């Protein structure tokens, strides 16, 4: 910006956005000073580098607003967790299933954790059947990111929305 630009020649764009052409740094600084604005290097990698005459404070403010708008529009994907037990009742299972559907339709991922206690650990196949049943019941709503697998005393899987837009 201004005196920090250490070039011999540069391509200048004036305050109205019109191309002036290739000029010396002194000429560009003189024009910027006459306009009461700053000389800002826009494209340093071009040959010759491109500089523009503009109000630097206003330029920075507009860049911040653009970045803020971009942050507002982006969707953060949360991972919601649902915990189950192998001998869960039908109604309790339906409640958990409904919660999983709601999370998936909201665009969040769902981590389903099935905890085994005591003797339940000797019948892990019951838990795996329960997780497979949940995948089947969710159907078109979800796609499986991580298949059900055992990790110590718990089995887990991760589901994501099936209609998620890939960016």
Q: How many CB atoms lie within 10 A of CB 165?
A: 7
Say whether pLDDT at 167 is over 50. no
User: Cα(68)–Cα(104) distance, rounded to whole angstroms?
Assistant: 27
Pairing state of beta strands 9-13 and 50-54? parallel
What is the reported pLDDT for 165?
54
Query: pLDDT digits over 27-64, tens only?
Result: 888 888 888 888 888 888 888 888 888 888 888 898 89
59-95 pLDDT per residue, tens? 889 889 999 988 888 877 789 999 999 999 999 999 9
Task: For residues 115-136, give the mean pLDDT.
Answer: 91
pLDDT digit string, tens, across residues 14-29: 888 888 888 888 888 8
Rounded distance between C-alpha atoms, residue 52 and residue 25, angstroms = 12
Domain segments of the chain as ranges: 2-71, 79-161
Sign of CA dihedral 11, 14, 20, 23: negative
Element (H, E) at 29: helix 25-35
Task: Return d(Cα 17, Cα 15) in angstroms, integer.
Answer: 6
In three-state secondary structure terms, 113 is strand
- Provide the CATH topology of domain 2-71: Ubiquitin-like (UB roll) (3.10.20)
Compute the distance between CA of residue 40 and CA of residue 54 in angstroms, rounded to an integer.
7
When the pLDDT of each residue in the chain is averaged and rounded to a whole number, the result is 87
Topology classification of domain 79-161 = Translation Initiation Factor IF3 (3.30.110)
């Amino acid at each position: 910006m201004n005196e920090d630009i250490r070039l011999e020649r540069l391509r200048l764009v004036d305050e109205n956005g019109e191309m002036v052409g290739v000029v010396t740094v002194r000429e560009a600084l003189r024009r910027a000073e006459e306009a009461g604005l700053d000389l800002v290097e826009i494209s340093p990698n071009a040959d010759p580098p491109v500089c523009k005459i503009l109000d630097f404070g206003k330029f920075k403010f507009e860049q911040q607003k653009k970045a803020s708008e971009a942050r507002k529009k982006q969707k953060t994907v949360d991972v919601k967790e649902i915990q189950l037990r192998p001998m869960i009742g039908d109604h309790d299972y339906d409640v958990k299933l409904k919660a999983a559907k709601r999370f998936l339709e909201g665009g969040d991922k769902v981590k389903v954790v099935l905890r085994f206690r005591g003797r339940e650990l000797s019948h892990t196949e019951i838990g795996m059947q329960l997780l497979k049943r949940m995948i089947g019941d969710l159907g078109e709503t979800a796609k499986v990111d991580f298949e059900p697998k055992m990790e110590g005393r718990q089995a887990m899987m991760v589901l994501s929305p099936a209609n998620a837009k890939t960016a």
